[in-house]
Structure 1
Amino acid sequence: MNTKQKIALVTGASSGIGEATAQQLALAGYRVYGTSRRGGQVAQRAFQMLALDVTQDASVDAAVRQLIQLEGRIDLLVNNAGFGVAAAAAEESSMAQAQAIFDTNFFGMVRMTRAVVPHMRRQKSGRIINIGSVLGFLPMPYMALYSATKHAVAGYSESLDHELRTQGIRVSVVEPAYINTPFDANQVPPDAPLDVYREIRAGVEKRVKEVLVGADGPGVVADTVLQAAAATQPKLRYAPGLARRMRLLRRFAPASVLDAGVRKDLRLAA
């Protein structure tokens, strides 16, 4: 058992925010284990990879059990694994697709939390950081399902933090805005597209791609995760980069002004 370094487990660490976060934590002195469905170690990474599919109970339990056997403890869990549906009207995703995105983005986080928390309770310490999204407090049209999963992540995180404080465990949610990563390039298309939305969908996709060109890279999220992990008194919510301004707008701007601003930014008719 390693007694000198804190042990971190980061899901969805093969690319994007997860990879940047795992790398940043490793550079900060954590002993980091990243996960992906395929696992495997890749050169130039400062952390090890475990095979883990967050949609499968047995896979989650096996990976956590393996890590406990290797290290004896888990000090930090970063729930990052997730995927999105490319710009699509809510009715353009089948029930199967809707359930799939919740199974990864929300229930995957729940599975990981259920597997890790008993070990953190026994050691009477731990941090859980869930990667949410600005869409978890400011929903975006044509991203209804993804927005819904991130609202669920935020609500779950807040409830969980209240529950676990007495056990020496704190929970935070990091809610970035647009981040330029392979995640955005690899979103799945809607599986029940309707012609009535075709032109609007194409316009929203074009606008999102334009914004992503100048968006922050995943390092801004990784820095915020490290900040939350190291904080003596961690905040419940962190909004890195552009998301800070969006949170202020959500809090203080009149609803009608914010509504008009969202539609104008996405080039949607009033």
Structure 2
Amino acid sequence: MTANQQVALVTGASSGIGKATAIAFAAAGFQVIGTGRKTAGLTAPAGVAYLDLDVTGDESVSAAVKQVIDRYGRIDVLVNNAGVGTTGAAEEFSTAQSQDVFDINVFGVMRMTTAVLPHMRAQRSGRIINVSSLSGFVPSPFMALYVATKHAVEGYSQSVDHEVRQYGVRVLLVEPGPINTPFGDHSVQADTPLPLYAAGRANYEAVLAENTSSGDAPAVVAQVIVAAATDTKPKLRRTAGSTAARINAVHRVAPARTFDRIIRRFNRMPA
């Protein structure tokens, strides 16, 4: 690590968007620490050091952030990427399962943010990039639980950004659309499936598989995240990928009823 080298901490960096982001930060000259629940045996990309971290554990988060500070002396960028998708109608998830998903996707972001903010405030600089989703600002049937977590992340991020801006810290959002990763394969399945939703669930899985297989590469999102972290005049939110950009443009100008029909058509729902 050179004297002026900035430090980026990327959660969920063992694969997909997180791994691509870690690689992109290393290419941009950062010292990068990528985290995962179990990184032993993984080959870290050049310029990236792996660190075990469970975002659902207070002690794990505190220990990981302390380890980074002790070794590198600073954290300039935190990318909250760790998260999990969900498959199923809202009614099919138990409260306990919903709480588990929120613990990863929402409270994980909050734990990490709370842990790094004192260090960023002390150095009077820092960027926290929260990986949201196209689903952070539009509905998505049979992903209601996932959508709820991303809406929560959006509201949290926008609010905290106002709280910490005066200390030289920004909290920013990146909103990917369909990305070519095994997102669906790793999604949490509803624990109380109901027969009346079986056809809708199967339709959703087919649409998701088609959209992700033809989606943008994770590197596309990674470049947007690095831009958010390094731009001198940062924007609060950025979409990532062609589908997210198109739907965002329509969302801004289309009447509510028209956009509702677009969402149903995009998801192949009954008219």
The answer to whether TM tops 0.5 is yes
CA contact (8 A) 1:54 1:104 kept: yes
Distance 1:193 1:184 in 2: 17
Which residue in the other structure is 1:34 paired with? 34
Which segments of structure 1 move beyond 4 Å, counting only runs of 4 or more?
A: none
Matched residues, number:
269
Deviation per CA, 1:140-195, whole angstroms, max 9, x where unpaired?
A: 01111100100111111111111111101111100011111123321121111000
Local SS of the residue matching 1:185: coil
Q: 1:142-161, aligned counterparts within 5 Å? A: 142-161=142-161
CA contact (8 A) 1:41 1:49 kept: no
CA contact (8 A) 2:53 2:60 kept: yes
**Sequence identity percentage:** 53
CA contact (8 A) 1:9 1:32 kept: yes
| Structure 2 gap ranges (5+) | none
Distance 2:43 2:97 in 1: 34
Question: Which letter does structure 1 place at the counterpart of 2:82?
Answer: A
CA contact (8 A) 1:94 1:192 kept: yes
Which residue in the other structure is 2:230 paired with? 230
Which residue in the other structure is 1:8 paired with? 8
Question: Which letter does structure 2 place at the counterpart of 1:251?
Answer: R
Question: Which letter does structure 2 place at the counterpart of 1:176?
Answer: P
Distance 1:130 1:228 in 2: 10
Distance 1:259 1:240 in 2: 22
Which residue in the other structure is 2:52 paired with? 51
Which residue in the other structure is 1:209 paired with? 209
Which residue in the other structure is 2:258 paired with? 257
2:187 aligned with 1:187: yes
Which residue in the other structure is 2:17 paired with? 17
Greater shift in the superposed pair: 71-80 or 200-209:
200-209
CA contact (8 A) 1:41 1:48 kept: no
CA deviation after TM superposition for structure 1 residue 4, in Å: 2.3
1:141–1:111 Cα change, 3 Å: same
Which residue in the other structure is 1:65 paired with? 66
Which residue in the other structure is 1:244 paired with? 245
CA contact (8 A) 2:90 2:145 kept: yes
Q: 1:65-104, aligned counterparts within 5 Å? A: 65-86=66-87, 88-104=88-104
CA deviation after TM superposition for structure 1 residue 2, in Å: 5.3
| Structure 1 gap ranges (5+) | none
Greater shift in the superposed pair: 62-71 or 32-41:
32-41
1:134–1:146 Cα change, 3 Å: same
TM-score, length-normalised on structure 1?
A: 0.97
Deviation per CA, 1:118-158, whole angstroms, max 9, x where unpaired?
A: 00011111111000001010010111110010011111111
Greater shift in the superposed pair: 179-188 or 88-97:
179-188
Distance 2:265 2:226 in 1: 35
TM-score, length-normalised on structure 2?
A: 0.96
Distance 1:40 1:30 in 2: 22
CA deviation after TM superposition for structure 1 residue 243, in Å: 1.0
CA deviation after TM superposition for structure 1 residue 252, in Å: 0.7
Distance 2:217 2:68 in 1: 29
Local SS of the residue matching 1:81: coil
CA contact (8 A) 2:142 2:200 kept: no
Distance 2:16 2:10 in 1: 12
Which residue in the other structure is 1:173 paired with? 173
CA contact (8 A) 1:2 1:71 kept: no
Question: Which letter does structure 1 place at the counterpart of 2:103?
Answer: D
Distance 1:205 1:52 in 2: 30
1:20–1:89 Cα change, 3 Å: same
Question: Which letter does structure 2 place at the counterpart of 1:89?
Answer: A
Deviation per CA, 1:59-105, whole angstroms, max 9, x where unpaired?
A: 0000001111101110000000000112x110101111100111000
Q: Root-mean-square deviation (CA), in Å? A: 1.2
CA deviation after TM superposition for structure 1 residue 209, in Å: 1.0
